Amino acid sequence: MSLAGFFPGLFMQGCKRKTVANQKNMKKLIVKEIHHQGAVDLNLAEKLLESSAEIQFIETINWPEYPYKPEVKFKIAWCQDQILLKYYVNEENILAKETRVNGDVYKDSCVEFFISTNENETYYNFEFNCIGTPHVGYGPGRATRALTDPEILKLIKVESSLGNQPFDEKTGGHQWELMVVIPAACLTYDKDLVLKGIKAHANFYKCGDETSKPHFVSWNPVGTGTPDYHQPAYFGELSFE
């Protein structure tokens, strides 16, 4: 369960009000289709994404009591019904203890991608620590997550510039990148989903709950009183070409 897991009371109250309020602040992003003939492995996916997609920024501080803001950017596109996503992170401290699939990756240096394909009724949370350990769930809110079968998660291709071995916190400033390829088949509750033409809602996050400088930074603003990423009312809009 990703960040701020101990502030559960904010999800359902005033959801309609939040949704209306969010319309003024909702970011919108066109997810470009990359056309390619033949197989696309992880390395090729990264090259295609790098050359075709524009940089986006995760830079919103929603909660003043957590002022630390690492420099975080991402690129997103899709190709052959796979979501291509790359994060670029520059932060003071890095931590990577979690190696269990669907474990507590949010406690480490972590990047996240939450997406809803059905007008925010339910959503997927894709979370990866900085060595690529995944945590993926699905449901209508924080308290009702169904974890994705680890066998399904093997379909996700992920590679970190930091490698895949755990380590204790390292200080002194670090840059790292994480490349992720998520097949549409990993959106397991959307049977036979075709990405082309869909309009989804999503948010992109950076966190590090148990680093020396805990932080909670988002792409689209989140208007809750305390840190909580499980807020689909505050997702932005993604339009897949």
- Domain-wise residue ranges, the chain: 31-240
Percentage of residues in the chain having pLDDT higher than 70: 90
Half-sphere exposure at residue 87, Cβ-oriented, CA atoms within 13 angstroms: 35
Report whether pLDDT(132) > 50.
yes
* Fold of the 31-240 domain: Immunoglobulin-like (2.60.40)
User: Alpha carbon of 71 to those of 147, 218, 236, 240: distances in Å?
Assistant: 30, 11, 20, 26
Q: What is the pLDDT of residue 25?
A: 75
pLDDT digits (tens, 9 = 90+) for 53-83: 999 999 999 999 999 999 999 999 999 999 9
Give exposure, 131-143, as e/b (b: 16+ Cβ within 10 Å): bbbbbbbbbbbbe
How many angstroms separate the CA atoms of 64 and 111, rounded? 20
Predicted confidence at residue 10, as pLDDT, reads 36
Say if CB 80 and CB 240 are below 8 A apart: no
**Between the CA of residue 118 and those of 19, 62, 111, 226, 232, what are the distances in Å?**
14, 25, 23, 26, 11
For 169-200, the pLDDT digits (tens) are 999 999 999 999 999 999 999 999 999 999 99
In angstroms, the CA 220 to CA 60 distance is 7
Return mean pLDDT, the chain.
92
